[in-house]
Chains A and B, each alone.
Chain A
Amino acid sequence: MELLVASAIGLMTASGIYLVLRLRAWPVILGLTMLTYAVNTFIFVSGRLAIDMPPILSVDAGGYTDPLPQALVLTAIVISFGMTAVTVMMALGAFLEAGDDRVEMTDAEDGK
């Protein structure tokens, strides 16, 4: 199981990195989303994998998984929505302003 999770994290990272290296805003946003998935999963599994051991206290539970990474990842998921929304908005604004959604500055825009 660990091998599957690790390979998924790896592939999501690779896909994310490849996408953020593209030249247009849309793939960069997709890439950031993929990276968010990968990073959140990575933080989550730092509590090690556990099946059927949710951190909900009860008398007949056999054990509990580590709740702390879960709490961290929970807020991270919500914050990443905020981050995605802001980048989407910036991309949209840039596109409406300039007429294309390139992420690179041209020399003319750089003021050189």
Chain B
Amino acid sequence: MSLALIAALPFLGALLPGLMIRSGRNACAIATGSVTALALLGLMLNAPAVMRGEVIEARFDWLPVLGLNANFFLDGLGLLFAGLILGIGLLIILYARFYLSKSDPMGQFYTYLMLFQGAMVGIVLSDNILLLLVFWELTSLSSFLLIGYWKHLPEGRQGARMALTVTGMGGLAMIAGMLILGQIAGSYDLTDILTQKEAIQASDWYLPALILILLGAFTKSAQFPFHFWLPHAMAAPTPVSAYLHSATMVKAGLFLMARMWPVLAGTEAWFYIVASVGLITMVIGAKIAIFKDDLKALLAFSTVSHLGLITMLLGLGTPEAAAVAMFHIINHATFKAALFMSAGIIDHETHTRDIKRLGGLRHLMPVTFVIVTIAALSMAGIPPLNGFLSKEMMLEEATHTVWGGLPWLFPLLATIGAMFSVAYSLRLIWHVFLGPVRGDYPHKPHDPGFGMWAAPALLAVLVVLIGLMPMLMVGDLVAVVAGAVTGEVVPVKISHWHGFVPALWMSVIAVVAGALILSAHKRLDAIWLAMPRPEAKAMFEAVVTTAARLADGFTNRLHDGALTRYLAIFTVAVLGAGWLAWRAGGHIPGEREMLPVPGLALAAWLMLMVCSVLVAVMHRQRLLSLVVIGVVGLIISVGFIYMSAPDLALTQISVEVVTIVLMLLALNFLPRVTPVESSLLRRGRDLVIAAAAGLGAGALALALMLRDFAFPTIADYHLANSYSGGGGTNVVNVILVDFRGYDTFGEIIVLGIAGLLIYALTEAIFRGPANRRLLDWPKGERESGDRHPMMMVVAARLALPLTIMVGLYIFLRGHNEPGGGFIAGLIVSIALVTQFMASGFGWTQARQRIDYHAFIGLGVVVAGATGLGAWFADRPFLTSAFGYFRIPPMEKFELATAMGFDLGVFLTVIGAVMLALSSLSRIAIRAGETVNLEPMDTDPSQPKTEER
């Protein structure tokens, strides 16, 4: 199975639970599980080749210019992790089916889980580090959803937020680090980067890149001092804890360190940062775990400790240590997932996770007891279980390590860590299962059904099997994985007996001392509780609150709600930038000759200037200012005609009409005058700003027009290819529907959204206080004698078919003559609006069978479908085709696919414009405007009954 498909399957599977949950919880779980099983099967089909040492690839170009490609590869390391993710994922799906209660939305849970699974598989299979980063962020987001799954619990929400903040920040740092790394290596593909150890380690940027990438890895894998988020994430449902926080997500950081090991490891910086952080985390995590009373918190801190152990091994930088790290990843995943699931069972059965309230469960829950005992003994490192094997090998590696010239430091601390580990593991068995049966459990416990303990039991069996026959079970796998991590052949020999080596004595000391700590637990616990401890959550909250307060203060100072102030600041800033730029460069006068000024142009210009000033002067009389601004628009349309832009003139004039109608309708409900509010000083200030801006804009325009193009324009290309390539002689239209069709496609979507937004705003106005104000609108204020004068109704009715015909004509000729979808749409809209004005909105609307939303939708779909049509001819999206046809007795005519696209434009324009105008009309009706049943106030065909 292709690697891309394996990575995509969980994402596709994420759609299933939502659909399947209606068929019941079992069907939902089976459907979800079978997707994961399929992906696992696909992975396993690739396993034999990987075990032979091959590397499997799947490559797709995505954004090659950016170096971002959907490249996947599978080697031993990827196989191990993908196997863990999918294999344990399958067990978790089974376990969650029985763990979640009836009131929990299970479909949601599985969807989040599959999203997470897909993201994790994506990380471990990515060959491209940019792609890897995308998946990395996806794991942060999906784990946020999973941790906060129980939305009603404040701890869940807080834990989710904390996890997202910490891992998200780390992820940001890692993005920077990866970009640096990619720059040094000259490629974003891992397979290329991993071959460039010398170049990367010699670079000046090695240390920054290393630190940034490690920040990402350490936050994800909960390494000191970022370990605090993991225990708080335990507010998640237990399947999530078992999956994310033992087997997979927290190992993503380890995966990354292992993946980058060949190029980043082996330097002093790597050793001192990674090994030290790992060791500190291991010891601190284990120590805290001893004193945690919450089962899941104990497991969380033990996870922190074991992650530290693996980090430390990777930090040592020797191939042997890396091999041990990989072996321990397998072991930890098996025993820790089993323990988490068992903790969930205990919680589920006794309704408490507090160790102090438990004890004596071995008689009541024998199956769970066996599972936990096996897994916990393995965690403690008791022979012959698998945890013992990797712990011995870890201690062995520690004895060879010299830290800062101190040969005893590493072995000592590693032994202490192992000792603590023995203590909390034994405590788990002792305080929960042994001792007398108590009578005060919150709920009478017994073993759960097979479905719930099947998954942890299977893992416990693996713990034993790997422990008894390590070489047979995982020997080859560890060798292949270690080979993939280090890039060299690592001889792997796992055995129970190494002779009387120092590691053995360290192990013995750890077990004995650990048992002693447990026996003295009561006294130590009292001391621990009496000691002041840093409370991570309070510290985190303090930091977050401070940051939020600072951001708030900053934002409030800039954004105090005064719109005009921002606009003034913005304008002045732009002016300042323009001034600086102008001062910096020299000024050479333009050389283009000016066109002559005919008298008519001068007159139009004068009118434009006067009106522009008048708009500003008269803006308080709102209706008058609208009239004046309409004149400005008209002169601009005329200007467009004069300056060889017939299409623009047509568009401008028709837009002008609908804009003015729209503003008139709105003005009906707005105050008719603007009161004088700003002081003289303020008006003076605004005038200065406005004058400066006007001067700048005008000068810039003049400077531009007096110069020739600095670079050859693409106009020549458009002119040359318009007819031969696009089949039209109206170059502007061909640009719109063909050369820049994608642009236009986006623009009609924006226009459609604007129309829908206006509709939504109207709906919002119809609720709340605005509605009351509308209903109380003063009625009966007649401003004209005839609401629907007969002359106008008749003329408008006559004009309707004519105007629509003109619209169609303009539409059809648009490809070759001025016109096209935009203009035609506007013209048809005007024809319809005229009916509103003549016969009333209600009367017109009753005869309008299609609603405007459909126009917008249809328009976008038609335009999009035309674009897609090009795919069937193996051409890129929106490539147009055209041909010439003759149907006697007509003249030869042209048909172009661009016409379909233009039809989409046409429909969207009508829909958006009409939706905007009809929304305003609906407001008018809400405010008490009467709806005419008859089109005219007086019907001349009826005899006059009374004098009006």
The reply to whether B693 and A17 form a contact with Cβ atoms under 8 Å apart is: yes
Given A22-B674, A71-B732, also A11-B694 (CB < 8 A) = yes
The reply to whether B755 and A47 form a contact with Cβ atoms under 8 Å apart is: no
The reply to whether B702 and A2 form a contact with Cβ atoms under 8 Å apart is: yes
Residues from chain A with Cβ under 8 Å of B817 in the complex: 56
Residues from chain A with Cβ under 8 Å of B356 in the complex: none
- A24 to B142 alpha-carbon distance, docked (Å): 45
Which of A8, A41, A57, A96 neighbours the largest number of chain B CB atoms within 10 Å of its CB?
A96
Binary contact track B676-689/A, C-beta < 8 Å → 1, others 0: 01100000001101
Binary contact track B710-731/A, C-beta < 8 Å → 1, others 0: 0001110011001100000111
Partner of A54, one of B633, B645, B740, B743: B645
Smallest Cβ distance from B911 to chain A, in angstroms?
A: 11
Binary contact track B734-777/A, C-beta < 8 Å → 1, others 0: 01100010011001001100110110011011001110011000
Residues from chain A with Cβ under 8 Å of B709 in the complex: 48
- A28 to B568 alpha-carbon distance, docked (Å): 13
The reply to whether B563 and A103 form a contact with Cβ atoms under 8 Å apart is: yes
Given A6-B705, A10-B697, A12-B612, also A79-B750 (CB < 8 A) = yes
Binary contact track A80-112/B, C-beta < 8 Å → 1, others 0: 111111101111110111011101111101101
Partner of A55, one of B708, B732, B740: B732
* Segment 601-647 of B: residues with Cβ below 8 Å from A: 601-602, 605, 608-609, 612-613, 615-616, 619, 622, 625-626, 629, 632-633, 636, 639-640, 642-647
The reply to whether B595 and A1 form a contact with Cβ atoms under 8 Å apart is: yes
The reply to whether B659 and A84 form a contact with Cβ atoms under 8 Å apart is: yes
Smallest Cβ distance from A97 to chain B, in angstroms?
A: 5
Residues from chain B with Cβ under 8 Å of A7 in the complex: 605, 609, 698
Chain A at the B interface: SS class: helix
The reply to whether B564 and A103 form a contact with Cβ atoms under 8 Å apart is: yes
Given A15-B690, A96-B773, A99-B773, also A57-B648 (CB < 8 A) = no
Given A74-B732, A75-B743, A97-B769, also A86-B642 (CB < 8 A) = no
Residues from chain B with Cβ under 8 Å of A83 in the complex: 754
Residues from chain A with Cβ under 8 Å of B686 in the complex: 17-18, 21-22
- A78 to B650 alpha-carbon distance, docked (Å): 11
The reply to whether B699 and A75 form a contact with Cβ atoms under 8 Å apart is: no
Given A26-B674, A58-B729, A88-B663, also A42-B701 (CB < 8 A) = yes
The reply to whether A88 and B666 form a contact with Cβ atoms under 8 Å apart is: yes
Smallest Cβ distance from B721 to chain A, in angstroms?
A: 11
- A81 to B659 alpha-carbon distance, docked (Å): 6
The reply to whether B693 and A13 form a contact with Cβ atoms under 8 Å apart is: yes
Asked if B247 lies at the interface with its beta carbon under 8 angstroms from chain A, I say: no
The reply to whether B750 and A82 form a contact with Cβ atoms under 8 Å apart is: yes
Asked if B529 lies at the interface with its beta carbon under 8 angstroms from chain A, I say: no
The reply to whether A68 and B615 form a contact with Cβ atoms under 8 Å apart is: no
Given A11-B613, A75-B822, A91-B666, also A6-B699 (CB < 8 A) = yes
Asked if B524 lies at the interface with its beta carbon under 8 angstroms from chain A, I say: no
Q: Looking across the interface, which residue of chain A has its beta carbon closest to that of B675?
A: A24
Residues from chain B with Cβ under 8 Å of A10 in the complex: 694-699, 701
- A53 to B228 alpha-carbon distance, docked (Å): 72
- A14 to B655 alpha-carbon distance, docked (Å): 23
* Segment 562-606 of B: residues with Cβ below 8 Å from A: 562-564, 567-568, 571, 592, 594-597, 601-602, 605
Smallest Cβ distance from B27 to chain A, in angstroms?
A: 46
* Segment 26-74 of A: residues with Cβ below 8 Å from B: 26-30, 33-34, 37-38, 40-42, 44-58, 64-68, 70-71, 73-74
- A18 to B667 alpha-carbon distance, docked (Å): 21
- A28 to B729 alpha-carbon distance, docked (Å): 40
Stretch in contact with the other chain, from B321-329, B384-392, B912-920: B912-920
Q: Looking across the interface, which residue of chain B has its beta carbon closest to that of A46?
A: B704
The reply to whether B713 and A68 form a contact with Cβ atoms under 8 Å apart is: yes
- A44 to B461 alpha-carbon distance, docked (Å): 76
Which of B571, B670, B740 neighbours the largest number of chain A CB atoms within 10 Å of its CB?
B670
Binary contact track B892-925/A, C-beta < 8 Å → 1, others 0: 0000000000000000010011001001100100
Asked if B516 lies at the interface with its beta carbon under 8 angstroms from chain A, I say: no
- A112 to B706 alpha-carbon distance, docked (Å): 52
- A28 to B713 alpha-carbon distance, docked (Å): 36
Partner of B730, one of A29, A46, A56, A101: A56
Asked if B888 lies at the interface with its beta carbon under 8 angstroms from chain A, I say: no
- A53 to B834 alpha-carbon distance, docked (Å): 34
The reply to whether B694 and A24 form a contact with Cβ atoms under 8 Å apart is: no
- A20 to B762 alpha-carbon distance, docked (Å): 24
Residues from chain A with Cβ under 8 Å of B602 in the complex: 4
Smallest Cβ distance from B19 to chain A, in angstroms?
A: 36
Smallest Cβ distance from A96 to chain B, in angstroms?
A: 4
Partner of A53, one of B644, B740, B919: B644
Asked if B101 lies at the interface with its beta carbon under 8 angstroms from chain A, I say: no
Smallest Cβ distance from B928 to chain A, in angstroms?
A: 14
The reply to whether B655 and A78 form a contact with Cβ atoms under 8 Å apart is: yes
Asked if B560 lies at the interface with its beta carbon under 8 angstroms from chain A, I say: yes
Smallest Cβ distance from B658 to chain A, in angstroms?
A: 6
Asked if B342 lies at the interface with its beta carbon under 8 angstroms from chain A, I say: no
- A18 to B625 alpha-carbon distance, docked (Å): 14
- A40 to B822 alpha-carbon distance, docked (Å): 16
- A45 to B729 alpha-carbon distance, docked (Å): 22
Asked if B561 lies at the interface with its beta carbon under 8 angstroms from chain A, I say: yes
Partner of B689, one of A6, A17, A66, A78: A17
- A14 to B696 alpha-carbon distance, docked (Å): 9
Given A7-B609, A96-B770, A104-B562, also A68-B714 (CB < 8 A) = yes
Asked if B126 lies at the interface with its beta carbon under 8 angstroms from chain A, I say: no
- A86 to B764 alpha-carbon distance, docked (Å): 13
Residues from chain B with Cβ under 8 Å of A23 in the complex: 564, 677-678
The reply to whether B705 and A5 form a contact with Cβ atoms under 8 Å apart is: yes
- A24 to B729 alpha-carbon distance, docked (Å): 46
Smallest Cβ distance from A72 to chain B, in angstroms?
A: 8
Residues from chain A with Cβ under 8 Å of B708 in the complex: 48
The reply to whether B567 and A2 form a contact with Cβ atoms under 8 Å apart is: no
Partner of A74, one of B605, B647, B714, B751: B647
Given A1-B594, A74-B647, A91-B670, also A55-B633 (CB < 8 A) = no
Which of A41, A88, A103, A110 neighbours the largest number of chain B CB atoms within 10 Å of its CB?
A88
- A105 to B695 alpha-carbon distance, docked (Å): 31
The reply to whether B594 and A30 form a contact with Cβ atoms under 8 Å apart is: no
Q: Looking across the interface, which residue of chain A has its beta carbon closest to that of B641?
A: A54
Partner of B616, one of A2, A15, A84: A15
Partner of B762, one of A22, A49, A89: A89
Given A12-B612, A84-B659, A97-B769, also A2-B632 (CB < 8 A) = no
Partner of B704, one of A27, A45, A109: A45
The reply to whether B768 and A50 form a contact with Cβ atoms under 8 Å apart is: no
The reply to whether A38 and B671 form a contact with Cβ atoms under 8 Å apart is: no
- A64 to B735 alpha-carbon distance, docked (Å): 15
Residues from chain B with Cβ under 8 Å of A55 in the complex: 644, 719, 730-732
Asked if B302 lies at the interface with its beta carbon under 8 angstroms from chain A, I say: no
Smallest Cβ distance from B173 to chain A, in angstroms?
A: 34
- A110 to B561 alpha-carbon distance, docked (Å): 7
Q: Looking across the interface, which residue of chain B has its beta carbon closest to that of A68?
A: B715
Smallest Cβ distance from A63 to chain B, in angstroms?
A: 10
Smallest Cβ distance from B59 to chain A, in angstroms?
A: 37
Which of A20, A41, A77 neighbours the largest number of chain B CB atoms within 10 Å of its CB?
A77
Show 27 A/B contacts (Cβ-Cβ < 8 Å), sorted by A.
Answer: A1-B594, A6-B701, A8-B605, A13-B696, A16-B690, A18-B686, A27-B619, A33-B659, A44-B648, A45-B701, A49-B595, A52-B644, A68-B718, A77-B655, A81-B659, A84-B663, A85-B754, A85-B755, A85-B758, A86-B754, A89-B761, A93-B761, A96-B770, A97-B770, A105-B560, A107-B561, A110-B560
Known: A26-B622, A57-B731, A85-B662. 17 other contacts (CB 8 A): A2-B595, A6-B698, A6-B699, A7-B698, A14-B694, A14-B697, A34-B629, A48-B705, A50-B644, A52-B644, A55-B731, A56-B818, A57-B719, A89-B920, A92-B669, A100-B671, A110-B561
The 5 closest A-B pairs by CB, nearest first: A10-B698, A14-B694, A105-B561, A82-B754, A6-B702
